Chain A
């Protein structure tokens, strides 16, 4: 890792935080490419490492949003606590498929997310 890579990783981390706060996601959609492109991590390790960074960011984000009175805590906890079946299936699958399949499907997720953001931008332009 050289200085440029470090700056890149820090910048994409900051950008992930902003998108997290603004649109209510964990930021993984930027953490993963940041880890792969700047910190030389494999796709599977990047996805796994991203999850840990997300915990930190979502915790602070939820706390801030709570201050703005935007969090229905009970529903949020219900969704969190009912997720383990999905989590086990998802992590099992991620470890079963090849790196290339993970890369391609992750890129598809990014494009889907970009499309969602574009829709949102268009809606708020109309509204």
Chain B
């Protein structure tokens, strides 16, 4: 096995575990490691990460579905506005500096983390 393939396999396993455990896609593992280990440029890493996430999240959703944990109606309810958001987000990424947006989301995340815990 080439070292490149080995690195992709490690990224895949880490992202899969993260995805299954936390209900996320695993991009937070994939993006930095593609940049760090495989020399990806940032936009290419984010695009490639999204492609990997389609497969990973589909498998993790199927696995959680077997446990009877998936609420399809609510997934659609929150997923539909997100599809609009992702089209806007990818277009924005090509045009503007991500600095302000990244800063805003960082604040949003801290707030929702606090709300979840209390």
A residues apposed to B, CB below 8 Å: 9-37, 39, 41, 43-62, 64-66, 68, 70-73, 75-95, 103-118, 120-121, 124-125
Chain A: CB-nearest residue to B75: A52
Q: Does B36 lie at the interface of the complex (its beta carbon under 8 Å from any beta carbon of A)?
A: no
Q: Decide if B88 touches A118 in the complex (CB within 8 Å).
A: no
Q: Decide if A111 touches B19 in the complex (CB within 8 Å).
A: no
How big is chain B's contact interface, by range? 35 or more
Chain B: CB-nearest residue to A89: B17
Contacts of B76 in A (CB 8 A): 53
Q: Does B112 lie at the interface of the complex (its beta carbon under 8 Å from any beta carbon of A)?
A: yes
Chain B: CB-nearest residue to A124: B99
Q: Decide if B46 touches A26 in the complex (CB within 8 Å).
A: no
B-side binding surface: helix, strand, loop or mixed? helix
Q: Decide if B70 touches A49 in the complex (CB within 8 Å).
A: yes
Q: Decide if A105 touches B50 in the complex (CB within 8 Å).
A: no
Query: How does the 8 Å CB contact mask read for B55-82 relative to A, with 1 for contact and 0 for none?
Result: 1111111011101011110111111111
Contact for B47 among A32, A65, A82, A120, CB less than 8 A: A65
Chain A: CB-nearest residue to B27: A25
Q: Decide if A84 touches B22 in the complex (CB within 8 Å).
A: no
Q: Decide if B90 touches A21 in the complex (CB within 8 Å).
A: yes
Contacts of B112 in A (CB 8 A): 30, 33, 37, 110
Apart from A22-B46, A116-B32, A121-B98, what are 15 other A-B pairs with CB-CB below 8 Å?
A12-B78, A18-B88, A30-B108, A50-B24, A51-B61, A52-B70, A55-B57, A65-B46, A83-B19, A84-B16, A86-B18, A87-B60, A91-B63, A93-B20, A110-B116
Contact for B48 among A39, A57, A76, CB less than 8 A: A76
Q: A24-B31, A52-B61 are in contact. Are A88 and B102 (CB under 8 A)?
A: no
Contact for A26 among B12, B25, B107, B113, CB less than 8 A: B25
Contacts of A20 in B (CB 8 A): 27, 50, 82, 85-86, 89
B19, B52, B53, B78 — which one has the most chain A CB atoms within 10 A of its CB? B78
